[in-house]
Amino acid sequence: MKISQTMVLSFSVGNFRSFREVQTFNMMATDKKPRFEFQNDNLIPVTDKIAGLKVNVAYGANGSGKSNLIQAFIEFIHICKKSLVGPSALQGLVPFLLADDSPKQPTFFEIVVAAEGIIYRYGFEADTKRFHSEWLYVEENGHEEMYFDRSKEGVNINDRSFSEGRKIMSSLDPEVSTLDDDKLLLSLGILQKSKTLLRLQAALEKIIMVENELGDHLHGLAMEMLRDQDVRQKTAKLLNNLSVDVDYILHTGVAEDQEFIKDSGAAIDSLNDKIIFGHIMGKNPDGKDKVSAWLMESLESAGTQRLTLLAPYLLATVAKGYTLIIDEFESRLHTNLSRAIIEMFIEPDSNPNNGQLIVATHDTNLLSANLLRRDQITFLQKKEDKSTEIFRLSDIKGVRSDRSHEKDYLTGRYEAIPNIDRLIFTE
């Protein structure tokens, strides 16, 4: 069985920020039976034996490494896209600094993604100056083969499975004949139009990372997506479904909206690329809607603003089958809104293209046993050496599917919570 779905199956990181030993964030389903049959709607079939998960929710104390995991995803994708620009692409690599040997060792990244029933396992090791290794293994019909494996000794290419590899290597300067230490074979292969590596690139480009605060880049992308009238209409519908009252979402940078905004009386002189919230107040004599409008940034809550700018990413993910990763998911959102978004990704009718959602959060309401399977709940915690370890609820022995996971987590049964002393500073 093959399906056209593209999805992340796992991501591994080692010697990066709080990660010392290699840790794996897993998006593959286990064979453990869920509490309710309908929880199998959480699964995305990949092959006859492997299924991915639509949603994974990561928990841990402040400082446990959740944001570092998101940052690892960001750095990995950034390097994959930018390695041809030179060593500057590697400057964001920060090794684990609390061990004498770690700063001298490279950072490890590896991702496993599925696309059209084919599973790609791609990774590399690098420091801020160069790549130490790089590899690609491909699994099809239940059999994994090495396509290339690069080390300091050179590049080993499987000519039978990856004949494109020789063409890529032959494109190098004959006087050099070796791949530059600060360039990825992946990037060079994409430049040479390798079909295999272009398919891998297409899968990686479907991963979207959103940090806690939408920086200028993500804010700008959201504003650009909101130029599309269909996106604005769907965003308004999404907000209404989440109990945020708005009739129109207007964009000051869109010519068709400018006259409508002017008629509403909104004070937007000299504003560029801003969002206006419009509310229907009745009908004008000509039968058109009478609208009262105002600048979102001025009169809407911080939570509504964040939700409005997250909406285009949520909509694109479910429409196109992307993977969306959000840090501090609960930030400025009511717990019921967070749960509704999780449910949107789980239900087949609201997520027909099997988009994936990965979130780091402190919202324990999402630990309800009738919402997520045990393999969809991930914990991050610090070990004695202050490095981060990752494990899933399904990895813990003796946890029944009918337990109160929220209560057990908060009481420390699963660990991954802060150890708090009384706050006394009067002495």
Residue 1 falls inside a structural domain:
no
184 and 241 share one domain = no
CA distance 372 to 426: 44
CA distance 179 to 149: 13
Residue 427 falls inside a structural domain:
no
233 and 181 share one domain = no
115 and 94 share one domain = yes
343 and 299 share one domain = no
Residue 75 falls inside a structural domain:
yes
Q: Which domain CATH number covers 104?
A: 3.40.50
pLDDT tens for the chain, 427 residues long, are: 455 578 999 999 999 999 999 999 999 999 988 888 888 889 999 988 899 999 999 999 999 999 999 999 999 999 999 998 877 899 999 999 999 999 999 999 999 999 988 999 999 999 999 999 999 999 998 899 999 999 999 999 999 999 999 999 888 865 545 688 999 999 999 999 999 999 999 999 999 999 877 778 889 999 999 999 999 999 999 999 999 999 999 999 998 898 888 877 776 665 678 999 999 999 988 888 888 999 999 899 999 999 999 999 999 999 999 999 999 999 989 999 999 999 999 999 999 999 999 999 999 999 988 899 999 999 999 999 999 999 999 999 988 877 879 888 888 889 888 877 777 777 6
Q: Are 52 and 29 in contact (CB under 8 A)?
A: yes
**Among 308, 332, 348, residue at a domain's last position:** 308
281 and 333 share one domain = no
17 and 42 share one domain = yes
114 and 236 share one domain = no
Q: Which residue has the tokens 């032959």?
A: 170
pLDDT reported for residue 1: 47
User: How many domains does the structure of the chain reveal?
Assistant: 2
Residue 426 falls inside a structural domain:
no
Residue 388 falls inside a structural domain:
yes
Residue 341 falls inside a structural domain:
yes
Q: Are 16 and 96 in contact (CB under 8 A)?
A: yes
**Among 265, 281, 308, residue at a domain's last position:** 308
Residue 61 falls inside a structural domain:
yes
145 and 256 share one domain = no
Beta bridge partners of 294: 277
96 and 138 share one domain = yes
- Domain holding 385, by residue range, is 6-206+323-410
pLDDT reported for residue 85: 81
197 and 117 share one domain = yes
14 and 110 share one domain = yes
**Among 282, 308, 334, residue at a domain's last position:** 308
Residue 36 falls inside a structural domain:
yes
